[in-house]
Amino acid sequence: MSPCAWETGVVLGPEFKSSPARLARLFRRSRDTWKERAAAKQRAVKKLRITVRDLTESRDHWKDVARQQSQEIAALRAQLEQTREELSAARRTQEGSCGGQLTPADLSAPTGHRHSLLVIRLCLLWYLDAHVSLRGVSEILLSLVSILGDSLPLSLPYHQTVRSWLLRCGLFLLRRRVPPRDDWVWILDHTIRIGQKKCLLILGASLDHLQAHPGALEHHQVVVLDLCVTAHSTGVDIDKRLKDLARRVGVPKQIVADHGSDLSKGVRLFQAANPVMADTYDVTHKLASLVKAELEADPRWAEFLRYCTSSLFQLQQSRGAFLTPPGPRSLERYLNVDRHTEWACRMLLLLEMPDKALVAELLALDEEEASSFLEEKLGWLRDFCHEVTRYGHLVEAVKRTEEEVKNHGLGRQTAARLWQQLPVQLRRDSSLEGFFRSVKGYLKEEGSKVPVGQSWLGTSDVIESLFGKYKSFLEKSPEGEVGASVLALPLLTVDLTAELIHEALLRVSVQDVRSWANDYLGPSILSKVCTLSAAVDQATHASSDDTVSG
C-alpha cells in the first residue's frame, strides 16, 4: 500500500472498482435500508411482546376461571345428588299427596265444608301458580267435569268461595307461630303504592342455610314473618315493627333492603338498639343507582334516548316495524340501558352487513331501496358507535357484578374475585374508571360487615319476585288497591299440601278474615262504591214512592 493511501485514510481494495463517490452513495443507501429493517423488526418484537403479555394475562385469567368452575361443577354435582336423594325420600314419605294415588283424605271435605280437599287444592294451585283468575278456576273445573264425568268427584265452587279459601289459608300462615332463631336474615321492602296504600313485607331466611347453599333465594326458602298494609310509613313506624318482630322471633344477624328513605331510617334506628346486626344494601338497587348517576352525567345518553324515541315513532307503524327500538319505561331499572344497548348493537351490525337481501325481503323492497330506508331511519346510530360500545361495557360490568353477588353471596373477597373475573377490555375502559371505583367501594364496604370466611346474602330479589306475582293478582282484581289479597303472599312461599289446607280451614274462619281486614285494612274502594250505590238506589226508590203517593 502506498504511503499516500495511509495518509488519506482511504483504502481501496482490489474488489472495489467504482469511484469513491459512487461507493459512498451505495453504502449510505445500504445503511439506511438496514436501519429501516432493524427498526421494523424492533417494532414487530415490541408488538409481539405486548401480545404475549396480554395472552399470558388472558391465559392466567381463564385458568383461574376454569379452576373455579371445575370446583363449582363438583359442588353442584354433589348438591344435585343430595337433592335427588331428598326428592326420592320426599316422594316415598308423601306418596299419594303429589302425583300419586289419591287418598281418601284428598277426596273428603274438611269439617263444615261441601267441597273436597282435592277441589280446594286444585283451585288454589291454579290461582297461585298458573295465574288463573278466580272465575277462570271455576270454568276449568266445569271443563274437567264435562270431560271426566263421574270418574273424579269434582264439584264447582263459586269464585267468592275460592277467594275465601285463599284468604283463610293466607291468614293462617301469617298467624302461624315461627320458632325463634339466632341466625335470621330479614329481607324487607314495600310494594309500590297502589291506590292510597302500600304493603310492608318482611321475609326471613336462615343464615346457616345460606352458608350451606350460597346464592339467590327461592320462594320456598323464605318464610313470611310480618306483613303490614298502611297508607303512611315512616322510619319510626318501621323501627317499631322491627322491634316487635324481634321480640317474637329473635334479633336478626343481617337485614337486606333497598335503602328507600323510610326503610333506611327504620333499619338505622333498629340497628342502634342492636349494633351486632349488619345492614346490607341490595346489590340490584345499588347498581341501579350507580348506573343512573353515571348516565345522568352523560349528555350523549339523553341524546341517544331522544333519537331512539324518534325512531320508535317513525318505525312502529311502517314497513320497518320489526326494527323499532324498545319503548321507554319510567320504572325500568338502569334507565333501559341494557335493552337499548342490545338493540343499538344489532342495528349497527345490520347497517354494516354487505348483503341486504334478507332485510330487503322483510321490508318488501329491493336491496338499494332497503339500504336507503335503513340509512334514513337508523343511519344516526353510526354517530353513537363509541357511546354504544361504552354502554355495552357498562351493562356487562353490571351483569358480572350481579352474577357474582347473587350466585356466590357477599363476603370480604367479593370485590377482588369480581375484578379478577372481569374481561381485560372492561378493566381497561378508562371511561368506566369512576364506575368501577364506586362498585369496588360498595363491595368492600358491604363485605367488611361479613365475618372472615363467610358469605352472606347480598340481594333482595326474592321479595321483588313475590311482589311481581302479587302484582299479577292485582291486575285481575276489581279493587285496584292493596287489599285483603296481600294474604296470598304467604301462600307463595309454602308447599300447599292437603294437610296444610285442612288445618288452615279448621283454624281460621271467614269471620276471622273479616275481623283482620277491618282492623288492618278498613273498608276497601269496592265496598265504598257498593255502599254508595246502595244508598243512592235507596234514595231513588224513596223519591219514586213519594212521587207516586203524591
Res. 442: pLDDT tops 50:
yes
CA dist., res. 327 & res. 339, Å (int): 9
Stretch among 206-220, 378-392, 450-464 having the lowest mean pLDDT: 206-220
Q: Worst-scoring range by mean pLDDT, 186-200, 298-312, 350-364, 429-443? A: 186-200
3-state helix, strand, coil in the chain (%, to 5): 65, 5, 25
Residue 346 pLDDT level (bands cut at 50, 70, 90): very high
pLDDT at site 3: 46
Per-residue confidence (pLDDT) for residue 192, from 0 to 100: 67
Which residues partner with 410 through β-bridges? 456
Tell me the mean pLDDT in the region 168-187: 92
Question: What is the model's pLDDT at position 172?
Answer: 94
Residue 8 reports pLDDT greater than 60? no
| pLDDT value of position 101 | 63
140 Cβ partners below 8 Å, 6+ apart? Answer: 126, 132
Q: Which residue has the higher pLDDT, 206 or 477?
A: 206
Question: Residue type for 111, please?
Answer: T
Residue 242 makes CB contacts below 8 A (sequence gap 6+) with 186, 202, 255, 266, 267, 270
pLDDT recorded at residue 25: 86
Residue 491 or 108, more confident: 491
pTM of the predicted model as reported, rounded to 2 decimal places: 0.74
Please tell me which residue, 52 or 333, carries the higher pLDDT value. 52
Q: Mind listing the pLDDT tens digit for each residue in 114-156?
A: 888 888 999 999 989 888 888 888 888 888 878 877 666 778 8
Q: How many residues does the chain have?
A: 550
Given the C-alpha cell 369512576, which residue does it identify?
A: 434
* Residue 199 in this model has a pLDDT that exceeds 50: yes
Burial of 332 from C-beta contacts in 10 A (0-12 / 13-18 / 19+): middle
Residue 331 pLDDT: 55
Please report the pLDDT score of residue 335 as a whole number.
54
Percent of the chain at pLDDT > 90 equals 35
Compute the chain's Rg from CA coordinates: 35
| Residues 157 and 123 sit within 8 Å (Cβ to Cβ) | yes
CB burial of 250-282 (b: ≥16 within 10 Å; e: otherwise) equals bbbbbbbbbebebbbbbbebbbeeeeebbbbbb
Distance between the two ends of the chain, CA-based, in angstroms? 156
Cα–Cα distance measured from residue 524 to residue 486, given in angstroms and rounded to the nearest whole number: 13
Work out whether strand 254-257 and strand 184-190 pair parallel, antiparallel, or are unpaired: parallel
pLDDT (average), residues 533-544: 74
Number of C-beta neighbours around residue 466 at 10 A: 23
Q: State pLDDT tens for residues 388-404.
A: 999 999 999 999 999 99
Predicted local confidence at residue 223, as pLDDT = 93
**Average pLDDT of the chain?**
84
CB 286 within 8 A of CB 442: yes
Query: What's the rounded Cα separation, in Å, for the pair 491 and 227?
Result: 13
**544 has a pLDDT exceeding 80:** no
Q: Which amino acid, residue 385?
A: C
pLDDT at residue number 96: 43
Say if residue 194's pLDDT is above 80: no
